[in-house]
């Protein structure tokens, strides 16, 4: 397991006044690679997620950016993680998201394309699904979790389709969790020990797509890989024995837009941008469109399917280390 990140936090960047600290922005420090089997622990004085200042009214609580129970049991032991203090509210919100999404992201794909550790994953899913009560849906996560698999004609060929996500996990919840993790990493990258705080990037979080393993080769993911592969990488995380991957890359010379990618439990990938909204929208407009087909529309509910495209392992470079 390796983690690369900016290490020279001591060099600092000067202090910010309180106004900018509430909505902080700032540059990211020079990229340095490290290998680590120990977590990085920050003694921070503000919540990395909402910028609240800790005190009697708002105590900090211990927060793991990669939740220890988010990955299969034991995989975070002796693995790199980022640990800091977060406010109770943010900590709770993130734990709620991790609770559902952990199980979903481990779900072995119905198309037969399985993660490397399929047997382990099945055991883990069984163990959790029976006892995990989704705080989102208030029912066991195993109920209604099975993706609907449909066969149908799509253009000239007959293919198998799967609905994009199990019904109870909306895409928004996936992106919310991705946003939490990126906020945590960015705070770390810009952290100043003397101030006991880091920054956020300013402006918005712009997710593009969340896809199951059976669709990792889809045109938008391919396009995203192409436009980001020569960029400067400022963070590259591979931890939890390969069950958690993430990177952040700069999208321009004077960074105000960053690209990010995350892989959860060898089952889900998410990609997008954060930073300058106008630039993100302009960039996003050049992405290819994914064809969808409406298979059900009764006026109340519309179900659309899209063709899924898997990627061959030998052709899968989204999480290759760059700038080596
Ligand atoms: Zn908070």
**Cα 310 to averaged position of ligand 1 atoms, centre (Å):** 37
Give me the number of domains the chain comprises.
1
Residue 234 located in a structural domain: yes
pLDDT at residue 293, rounded to an integer: 73
Centre of ligand 1 from the C-alpha of residue 79, in Å: 25
> What does the pLDDT read at residue 18?
34
Strand 33-34 to strand 82-87: parallel, antiparallel, or no bridges (unpaired)? unpaired
Cα(57)–Cα(60) distance, integer angstroms: 10
User: 17-64, pLDDT tens digit by residue?
Assistant: 333 333 334 444 443 444 467 788 999 999 999 999 999 999 999 999
Using CA atoms, how far apart are residues 280 and 83, in angstroms rounded to an integer? 29
Residue 95 lies in a domain: yes
Per the rule left: phi > 0, alpha: psi between -120 and 50, beta: everything else, 82 is beta
Q: Which residue has the higher pLDDT, 152 or 121?
A: 121
The residues, ordered by sequence, that sit 6+ positions from 84 with a Cβ below 8 Å of its Cβ are: 41, 42, 44, 48, 63, 65, 184, 187, 188
Of residues 119 and 248, more confidence is placed in 248
Residue 237: closest CA among 246, 229, 228:
246
Residue 175 counted as domain residue: yes
Residue 298: the pLDDT is 79
pTM for the structure as a whole: 0.77
Structural domain span for residue 178: 2-7+16-315
- The answer to which of 1-15, 209-223, 229-243, 255-269 has the lowest mean pLDDT is 1-15
Q: What is the pLDDT of residue 8?
A: 35
Residue 57 Cα to ligand 1 middle (Å):
12
Domain assignment present for 256: yes
d(CA 306, CA 289): 11
Q: What pLDDT, on the 0 to 100 scale, is given for residue 121? A: 65
Q: How far is the CA of 198 from the centre of ligand 1 (A)?
A: 13
Beta bridge partners of 81: none
In a domain, 322, yes or no: no
CA 60 to ligand 1 center in whole angstroms: 9
Please tell me the distance between residue 68's alpha carbon and the centre of ligand 1 in angstroms. 19
Q: Is the pLDDT of residue 69 over 60?
A: yes
Residue 93 lies inside a defined structural domain of this protein:
yes
Q: Please check whether residue 135 is in contact with residue 99, taking contact to mean a CB–CB distance below 8 angstroms.
A: yes
Ligand 1 center from residue 177 Cα (angstroms): 14
Percent of the chain with pLDDT over 70: 67
Ligand 1 centroid from CA 82, angstroms: 16
Confidence of residue 169 (pLDDT cuts 50, 70, 90): low
75 in a domain, yes or no?
yes
Q: Pick the more confident residue, 191 or 160.
A: 191
The stretch 142-159 carries a mean pLDDT of: 36
Q: What are phi and psi of 273, to 5 degrees?
A: -130, 165
Q: What percent of the chain has pLDDT over 90?
A: 38
- 88 Cα: distance to centroid of ligand 1 (angstroms): 7
Residues in the chain: 324
Between 258 and 296, residue with greater pLDDT: 258
Statement: residue 282 has pLDDT above 70: yes
Distance between Cα 205 and ligand 1 center (Å): 17
CA end-to-end span of the chain, whole Å? 16
Q: Is residue 324 part of a domain?
A: no
CA of 285 to the centre of ligand 1 (A): 32
Tens of pLDDT, residues 186-203: 999 999 999 999 998 888
């Amino acid at each position: 397991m390796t983690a690369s990140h900016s290490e020279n936090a001591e060099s600092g960047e000067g202090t910010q006044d309180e106004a900018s600290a509430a909505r902080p922005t700032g540059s990211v420090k020079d990229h340095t690679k490290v290998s680590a089997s120990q977590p990085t622990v920050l003694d921070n004085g503000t919540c990395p997620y909402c910028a609240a200042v800790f005190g009697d009214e708002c105590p900090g609580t211990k927060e793991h950016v990669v939740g220890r129970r988010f990955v299969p049991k034991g995989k975070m032991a002796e693995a790199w993680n980022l640990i800091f203090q977060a406010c109770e509210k943010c900590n709770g919100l993130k734990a709620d998201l991790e609770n559902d999404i952990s199980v979903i992201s481990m779900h072995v794909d119905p198309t037969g394309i399985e993660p490397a550790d399929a047997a382990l994953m099945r055991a883990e899913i069984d163990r959790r699904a029976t006892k995990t009560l989704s705080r989102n849906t208030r029912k066991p996560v195993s109920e209604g979790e099975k993706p609907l698999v449909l066969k149908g004609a799509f253009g000239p060929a007959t293919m198998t389709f799967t609905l994009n996500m199990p019904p109870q996990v909306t895409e928004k919840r996936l992106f919310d969790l991705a946003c939490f993790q990126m906020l945590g990493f960015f705070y770390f990258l810009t952290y100043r020990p003397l101030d006991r705080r880091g920054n956020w990037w300013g402006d918005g979080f712009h997710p593009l797509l969340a896809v199951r393993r059976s669709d990792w080769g889809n045109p938008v993911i391919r396009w995203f890989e192409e436009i980001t592969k020569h960029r400067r990488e400022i963070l590259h995380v591979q931890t939890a024995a390969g069950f958690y991957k993430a990177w952040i890359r700069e999208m321009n010379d004077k960074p105000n837009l960053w690209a990010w990618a995350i892989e959860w439990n060898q089952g889900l990938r998410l990609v997008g941008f954060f930073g300058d909204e106008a630039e993100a929208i302009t960039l996003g407009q050049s992405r290819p469109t994914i064809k969808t087909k409406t298979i059900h529309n009764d006026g109340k509910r519309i179900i659309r399917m899209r063709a899924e495209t898997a990627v061959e392992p030998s052709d899968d470079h989204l999480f290759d280390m760059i700038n080596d």
